[in-house]
Structure 1
Amino acid sequence: MRLLPQAAGLRQHFTSSSAPLRAGRARRIIAATAAIVMMTSVGACGAAARSSSSRLMKTTFMLSWAPDTNHIGVYVAKHNGYFKRAGLDVDIVAVAQAGAEQSVNNGVADFALSNLTNVSNYSLKGATLKQVLQVQRKPSAIWCALASNTSITRPKDFDGKTFATFGSNESDAVIKQMIKTDGGKGQFDKVTVGTSTFQTLSSGKADFGGFYATWEGVQADMYGPKLNCFTEPDYGVPGNADSIGIITNDKTIKNNPKLVKAFTQATQKGYEYAYAHPDQAAQILVDEAPEANLKPAFVKRSMHTIVDGKYWGDPKAIASGDVTFGTNDTVATQQYFDFLARAGAYTDASGKVVRTAPKAKDLSTDRFLSK
């Protein structure tokens, strides 16, 4: 599974009471298992329904980790009244123990933030999920050593070193490819991260690990520790691994397409606003997610990193209407899927390696976007 941003409860360094070392790349999404095939009952908070006290349709959006700038469009849509004007009463809920993808697949939540890489993994285990809006257009993952570790100056130097991992076949495949592209053998040891990749590296238990340029990369620049990082596209990993976006399940699409359209278009508008007004959107996230105790300066820097790096697409092309924000890029995503299949990183519900990549075009749809 692609490791996604911010597991809940691991945000110390980004809060107003920040500690010297924040719990690092805790972007763990619960591993898909055969249980996803068996768990088919609909949870109490999931299926959208008309509120008895209003004319708004109640629906649930589940966080995939603690609130951060990847979720920001949903918070903006709620704060700016886009959901209400679309006839929706949206409840933003914390991620369940089973994970956001499994919760959406089982109907416990109607929508969640995920990415097409995770959707592809879950599809091989029996899930029927679809991404209805893609936010991120290019990879933001960075693979780093502490800058103080002078033995690592390029990916080739990862050879023979220890990787701080959450146990993902996908991450192993990416690291091997990067090392080999840089002229190495692709051989490394591994240690499982407990709570923080930053802490694991600082303790000397590992030499390198994975972070995200738009979140931990910002932390390292603002607060330390300084990192020496390398990106996937520069070292032979094709396509877009971080196709972050909004997911729902096929049953919701079939039974309530009006709900899916209303939520998708209001959320689309929220992300468009955030991309065009990063400072204002950052403050909205801080205000709307007080439980996260986010530092405004940090969130604003994260949003400017996203905008300046064009992670969500070309801002000028979006503003001019030449590009529709939220469309699913199935070409770049499929390139990454094919890479994972060749690397043997896909497995089915029984753990058997799957050599045929899922089709990105079958796992996403643009039909609900506002054109």
Structure 2
Amino acid sequence: MTIASTIRTTLTRAAAAILAFAMAFAIAGCGATANNTDNTASGDKLTKVTFMLAWIPDTNHIGVYVAKNKGYFKEAGLDVDIIAVAKTGAELAVNNGLADFALSNMYNAASYTDLKGAHIKQVLQVQQKPSAIWCALASNTAIKSPKDFDGKTFATFGGNESDIVIKRMVQYDGGKGEFDKVTVGTSTFKTLESGRADFGGFYATWEGVQADMYGPKLNCFTEPDYGVPGNGDAIGIITSDKMIKENPEVVRKFVQASQKGYEYAYENPDDAASILVKEAPDANLEEAFVKKSMHMIVDGQYWGDPAKIKDGSFVLGTNDFVETQKRFDFLGEGHAYTDANGNPVDTVPQSKDGATNEFLKGAK
């Protein structure tokens, strides 16, 4: 299986998790899974913890894979199992103690905590600016800018957050913001190629790389260029409030080892890409693809300004409460939010409720 076919059969990130959370939140919570195990090779006691993927292994997860490969977790006294995402979603799994940590984003952490009764927090934010791109096939010459989305069909995974973003982009570009929708089948690429939809959402650092390397070629537009405020892609690592309360040192060790892994990946993108391919063989990732994804992340400064990281004025992994809140407020103006039962609510999530920087090394 090639990287192209792997990506094409992968569900879009947050949408699947949000749907699963809404359906399954009634599951009762249980305790954190951190426990002590013997390391038979060294004789040292290691604390066993689990990290749940958010989707297939990709460059958003890469810092955790690097930390495991380089022995950063072991040096911190941790034995980390990386496990596949649960059908109910990573957020629910962490909230219920079925996983100790997971990849998610601050939007999920804050909205689930403030609106859906969860008790989770993001403890490391790797992505510091939006990577979402909204695209049509390059062969669709009728779409030259977002205003041309008017009257066309949007390939969606559900939820109205994306609708609000698209509407703003279209109106900012001089259109009305009126479009039809169709639910994506196996992938957004296939939905566009089938003619069932005219445009859809992707991520520049992953699907955008795929389109560039393997096709189909896309014509894409970014949110900041068309009036959408804030960062809706504040991807990072989450844990539960219970884990923070009962095992704060485990949280600190995991976060700082992961932080070290992401720092290494940012400084050594090619080696980090090789590590991900080696450590996640079942994902069938092509090394050239992963390297290009990492170089796009570095060149685009998606994880922060390397110069500021080097001089200490920015700490990689810092949760940004400003740009995320701008996005939360913007979505609130569009009445995007629902409670655990799917009922509309006017409450706007607060980024401060969904994240903390207390466990990061060097955070101010």
Q: Which TM-score applies when normalising by structure 2? A: 0.94
Partner residue in 1 for 2:131: 140
2:75 pairs with 85, 91, 109, which one? Answer: 85
Equivalent pairs, count: 354
> What is the root-mean-square deviation in Å for CA atoms of aligned residues?
1.6
List gaps (5 residues or longer) in structure 2: none
Q: Which residue number in structure 1 is paired with residue 280 of structure 2?
A: 289
Q: 2:2·2:286 contact (CA, 8 Å) conserved in 1?
A: no
**Counterpart code for 1:289:** A
Flag the 1:228–1:24 CA change in 2: closer, same or farther, 3 A.
Answer: farther
Deviations 1:285-344 (A, max 9, x none): 000001111100000000000000000000121122221111110000000000111101
The answer to whether structure 1 residue 59 and structure 2 residue 62 are counterparts is no
1:113 lines up with 2:99 in the alignment = no
In 1: Cα distance, 2:33 partner to 2:124 partner: 20
- 1:58-104: CA deviations, max 9, x gaps? 00000010100000000000000000000000000000110000000
Give 1:190's aligned residue.
Answer: 181
1:76 aligns with 2:66: yes
CA distance, structure 2, for counterparts of residue 77 and residue 322 of structure 1 = 23
- Structure 1: 4+ residue segments shifted above 6 A: none
Partners of 2:194 and 2:342 in 1: how far apart?
33
* 1:303 corresponds to 2:290: no
Shift of 1:29: 2.7
Tell me which amino acid in the other structure corresponds to 2:191: T
Quote the offset at 1:351 in angstroms: 2.2
Q: Read off the aligned partner of 1:107 and give its amino acid letter.
A: G
Aligned mates of 1:194, 1:121 — CA distance in 2 = 26
Contact 1:128 1:249 (8 Å CA) reproduced: yes
Q: Percent identity?
A: 66
Select 1:33's aligned residue among 11, 22, 30. Answer: 22
Contact 2:11–2:55 (Cα < 8 Å) also in 1: no
The gaps in structure 1 that reach 5 residues or longer are 1-11
User: Amino acid of the residue matched to residue 126 of structure 2?
Assistant: V
Q: CA deviation at 1:24?
A: 6.8
Deviations 1:262-307 (CA, angstroms, capped at 9, x unpaired): 0000000000000000000000000000111110000000000000
The aligned residue for residue 350 of structure 1 is 341
Contact kept, 8 Å, 1:130 with 1:248, in 2: the verdict is yes
From the two aligned structures, give the one with the greater helix fraction.
2
- With normalisation by structure 1, the TM-score equals 0.92
Is the 8 Å Cα contact of residues 25 and 211 (structure 1) preserved in structure 2?
no
Q: Which amino acid aligns with 2:340?
A: A
Partner of 1:234, secondary structure, is: helix
Structure 1 residues 60 and 24 mapped into 2: Cα distance closer, same or farther (>3 Å)?
A: closer
Maintained 8 Å contact 1:214/1:306: yes
Matched, 1:338 2:329: yes
